[in-house]
Amino acid sequence: MHWSDVMAQRLAERGETHIVATGITPSGEFHIGHLREILTGDMIARAARRAGMEAELVFVVDNADPLRKVYPFLDPEYETFIGHQLGSIPAPDENGKPDWKRFNEEGWTYGDHFLTPFLEALKLIGVTPRLLPNLEAYQAGKFSHAARVACDDPEAVREIIERVSGRELPTDWFPWQPLDSKGSLDGVNVTGYEYPHVHWTDAHGVDGRSNIEQGEGKLPWRLDWPAKWGFNAITCEPFGKDHGAAGGSYDTGKEIALLFGHEPPAPLTYEWISLRGKGAMSSSSGNTVGPIEALQLVPPEILRFLIANSKPSKAIEFDTGMGLVNLADEYERLCARDFEAELADPDLSRRKRVQIEDAKVALELSVVEEATASVATSVSFRHLALLAQVKPQDEGVWESLRATGTIVDPTPTLKDRLTRMRSWIASEHFPEEMRIHLCSEPDATALGELTEDQRSVLPFLEKALQSAPWTTEGIAEAFKTTATLSETGMRDVYRASYALFMGTERGPRLAPILSNCDQGEMMELVRQATAL
């Protein structure tokens, strides 16, 4: 059973109506590591609906969280906003400075600045959650019940956190963080409490009081999270392994939720996504690939497939090079399979049946529009990458595919894929081992590095290519013929051929590349090189 169906089965035991929550703090640029959480939630909701339940995906925007430091992309002016809530401070402009004009005229906040492009990316991958802004929830008094329970009996909350987490809280800890006289959550000392006011003294020597019914502050994270489960009626939430660790915020949250008077949601812990060769993604360190950037390279269904085809407990290494090629080609192969026919085989082993069913569901969850079918494009990512490099105009790509009988006319999906392919090729992420540099004239330096035996190959190569069909198979056969005629090994033939056509010692497979190039131009290149 696919992991999403396992979760749907667990939810069915709890009832027929569900709210699946995801949530992220908009402190910096979102990256595809964040997509794992929201796509995991989206896929659980889809699986629940497929099982006959009502299920809605919500996205909790943690814009009541404070700015914790001046990140590298921010101007030093943001030093004055440390501790201020992300939904109450101005967004950075193109220079990283506070954009006061837009903040005052449009209410455009720091949180809006980073959240909006992420939401646009989510639409492109078929995810349209209901938004639950946390700061607005505080200001509307939605946290007031949980805040009153905690503030009325702080020792009960302290006991749960210290016992479950195994760490000791400071003696002056209090379950409400008031906003100080400057609007910061940092450096505030609680001096008293009588509902609904928490009294405080701040680092500036100012005394004041915070009204918890009006959201003049917030709950600490370990209380904030379980409080949201209650008034948002959340029944399921996926979260990262840091929250799911023993004694972590979910473990304390389960007990605190009961103290607040509601059940905790069904959990699903997921591993993180890292960038190949660079480690875990981090907005603050700049080690990211953003969703919009990723979608310029990768069709949305491939990004969905990356998550759907990986068990949540398995770490994902996002490879924008050859790993992406292999992932996309695997997706194409799955699209071309007839799963119903495979599952109808009476001799199918249980293990094989599970593998087929998992692949079938992963493919279903990869489509952007729910309940639509995945359709193969008949063109592998690898082959499309080749054509996009040797055919500068799109029509040249379609003509090549028509000539081989691969397509009659390009589908909208295939056109979209070619557009993204050209962006990928133009980016730093395209793998060098697939990059094609064809010579327009003989490269004297590369040819000069050939041995005498390798140079002697060229006249025979010209002869073999002249009489060969201009197809992948025909050109590959011409290379073998060249080795026979020149009485040299295939290694020398290929060494000479790469120097001739690409000005390199080695590269991608030559025969399929040349077969998609203009035969006249390639033969003229051979003749010029032979004459040197």
Does 470 score more than 90 pLDDT?
yes
pLDDT of residue 281: 57
What is the structure's pLDDT at 433?
85
Q: Residue 374: pLDDT band by 50, 70, 90 thresholds? A: confident
> How many Cβ atoms from other residues are within 10 Å of residue 520's Cβ?
9
104-119 mean pLDDT: 96
Tokens standing for 329? Answer: 């080609």
pLDDT higher than 60, residue 136: yes
Query: 3-143+220-270 is classed in which CATH architecture?
Result: 3-Layer(aba) Sandwich (3.40)
What pLDDT score was predicted for residue 425? 92
Query: What is the reported pLDDT for 283?
Result: 55
Task: Output the pLDDT for position 282.
Answer: 58
Lookup: tokens for 68: 């914790």
**Whole-number Å distance between alpha carbons of 383 and 385:** 5
- Rounded to whole angstroms, how far apart are CA atoms 433 and 436? 8
Least confidently predicted of 331-340, 350-359, 427-436:
427-436
d(CA 417, CA 430) in angstroms, rounded, equals 15
Tens-place pLDDT, residues 221-253: 999 999 999 999 999 999 999 999 999 999 999
Question: Facing residues of 280 across strands?
Answer: 274
pLDDT confidence of residue 128: 95
Contact by Cβ (8 Å): 381, 328: yes
Q: What is the mean pLDDT of residues 190-219?
A: 97
Q: Are 85 and 185 within 8 A, CB to CB?
A: yes
pLDDT (mean) for 150-158: 98
8 A C-beta contact, residue 290 and residue 34: no
**pLDDT band at 266; cut points 50, 70, 90:** very high
pLDDT of amino acid 342: 95
- For the chain, what percent of residues have pLDDT higher than 90? 86
For residue 267, the SS3 value is strand
* pLDDT confidence bin for 15, thresholds 50/70/90: very high
Which DSSP letter does residue 140 get? T
Average confidence (pLDDT) over 313-342: 91
Q: Where in the sequence of the chain do the CATH 3.40.50.620 domains occur?
A: 3-143+220-270
Determine the average pLDDT of the residues in 433-459: 93
pTM: 0.90
* Cis before 90? omega within 30: no
The separation between the first and the last C-alpha atoms of the chain, rounded to the nearest angstrom, is: 65
Please provide the size of the chain in residues.
532
DSSP H or E stretch at residue 318? strand 316-318
Q: What average pLDDT does range 16-35 have in this prediction?
A: 92
pLDDT of residue 284: 52
Which residues of the chain does CATH 1.10.10.350 include? Answer: 444-531
Q: How much is the average pLDDT of 325-334?
A: 91
Predicted local confidence at residue 31, as pLDDT: 83
Backbone dihedral angles phi then psi of residue 353, each to the nearest 5 degrees: -60, -45
Residue with the larger pLDDT of the pair 366 and 298: 366
Domain 444-531 classified CATH 1.20.1340.10? no
Q: Which string of DSSP letters, residue by residue, matches 9-61?
A: HHHHTT-SEEEEEEEE--SS---HHHHHHHHHHHHHHHHHHHTT-EEEEEEEE
Reported as a single tens digit per residue, the pLDDT across 282-315 is 555 555 677 778 888 888 999 999 999 999 999 9
Q: Read off the tokens for 490.
A: 């295939």
Look at residue 505 in the predicted model and tell me its pLDDT. 92
| DSSP reduced 3-state for 221 | helix
Give the pLDDT of residue 279: 61
Which residue(s) pair with 317 in the sheet? Answer: 274
